[in-house]
Amino acid sequence: MRKVFTMKGFRTALLLAATLVVATPRDLVAQTETLVAPGDRVRITAPTISADRVVGTLYKLDGDVCVLRIEGRSPMKLPLAEVATLEVSRGSKSRAGVGALVGLAVGATTGAFLGHSWGSESCDDGSTFCLEKAENAVLTGTVFGLVGAGIGALTGSFIEVERWEEIALDELRIEASALSPDGVSVSVSLRL
């Protein structure tokens, strides 16, 4: 009787299957990921063309020219050789966390200062509720800090900041298409 399947063959097949399972998703993602595409909001620094950063919607990106739609202006053509940095908008983010930290710092500092000035030098006078300066500073600083953090978080939640991701120009993928008037785009991307 002949052996059809050996243990060594089984290990090899298992190793091959594991390699395909692990490698395929990573390779597929790398092939389909587009760093910038028509319709994306971009910010470009091109010092020889404009002293300020240019912000607009990417209309077209060809081999050596980037065409932007800038609100209220006709499309702007920028030679890629003149582009120092290219950033893509990744949406907006609220500043609630930063506001909470600022509010905590301001509130705790103010509270500690006031608590220290309101505290007693000594609690030997027999009063029922007496806090020395250091104790009162810690207690008042904590309360004011928590209130300040809440107010700061609330205030910061109303402030939206656009998040920008810089695209390395050597990793830029060129889109061989333009955005149609109805916003649909079909593209082929090539890595430079």
**pLDDT single digits (tens) 82-114:** 888 889 998 888 999 999 999 999 999 999 899
Residues 83 and 106 in one domain: no
Q: How confident is the model at residue 8 (pLDDT cuts 50, 70, 90)?
A: low
Residues 124 and 139 in one domain: yes
pLDDT of 73 above 90: no
Structure tokens at 27: 């390779």
Check whether residue 100 and residue 87 sit in a common domain: no
Provide the number of structural domains found in the chain.
Answer: 3
Q: Are residues 148 and 125 in the same domain?
A: yes
My answer on whether 116 and 138 are in the same domain is: yes
What is the three-state SS of 35-98?
A: CCCCCCEEEEECCCCCCCCEEEEEEEECCCEEEEECCCCCCEEEEHHHCCEEEEEEEEEECHHH
Q: At residue 144, does pLDDT exceed 50?
A: yes
Say if residue 72 is in the same domain as residue 47.
yes
Helix (H, G, I), strand (E, B) or coil at 120: strand
Name which of 104, 132, 102 is nearest 118 in CA terms: 132
Residues 153 and 115 in one domain: yes
For the stretch 40-64, pLDDT in tens is 898 888 888 888 888 889 888 777 7
Q: Are residues 106 and 146 in the same domain?
A: yes
Q: Which residue, among 155, 162, 156, 190, has the nearest Cα to 175 in the 3D structure? A: 190
- Sequence letter at residue 189: S
Considering the domain architecture, whether residues 153 and 168 belong to the same structural domain is answered as: no
- 8 A C-beta contact, residue 88 and residue 167: yes
Range of the domain at 19: 1-33
